[in-house]
Amino acid sequence: MTRKYLVVYEWAGKNFSGYSPDVSGCVSTGRTLAAMRKNMREAIESHLQWMFDDGEPIPEATAKTVAYEDEDKEFPYPPGYYFIVEKLEVKLPSRKKLSPTKRAQRSKAA
């Protein structure tokens, strides 16, 4: 099963950084837009897997837009700064994945 999350990629001169408003705490970077998309997909999928494994609910994809306030005069955007907002399709976790340590512990207990 998949879900499309809104993601924001920001170019700051040397690389992209990205985040999804719906997946709090999940960020990534990439040198190119293609690398950014790949890395962000992997970051979100890993983050959701960890949430699932810990019994936390998987966040819904509810964000439709993002709001940027006017540029801060004290901390202006670097030259060439821009951002891209799009939907990124990611795979949702379907089963718990055990860490190698937990897998070994279960094997010993059996």
Q: Is 10 helix (H, G, I), strand (E, B) or coil?
A: strand
* pLDDT single digits (tens) 8-48: 999 978 899 999 999 999 999 999 999 999 999 999 999 99
What Rg value do the Cα atoms of the chain yield, rounded? Answer: 17
Say how far apart CA 43 and CA 17 lie, in whole Å.
12
Extract the tokens encoding 86: 């799009």
Q: Which residues contact 92 (CB under 8 A, 6 or more apart)?
A: 1, 2, 3, 48, 58
* pLDDT single digits (tens) 50-104: 999 999 999 999 999 988 777 788 877 777 888 999 999 999 998 877 666 665 5
> How many domains, in total, are found in the chain?
1
Helical segments of the chain, H only: 33-53, 100-109
Per-residue model confidence (pLDDT) at position 99: 64
Task: Give backbone dihedrals phi and psi of 17, rounded to 5 degrees, phi first.
Answer: -125, 150
- For residue 5, count CB atoms less than 10 angstroms from its CB and return exposed for 0-12, middle for 13-18, buried for 19 or more: buried
Q: What is the CATH number of the domain that holds 88?
A: 3.30.160.250
Extract the tokens encoding 61: 């994809």
Tell me the average pLDDT across 2-10. Answer: 97
Which residues span the domain enclosing 29?
Answer: 2-109
pLDDT > 90? residue 7: yes
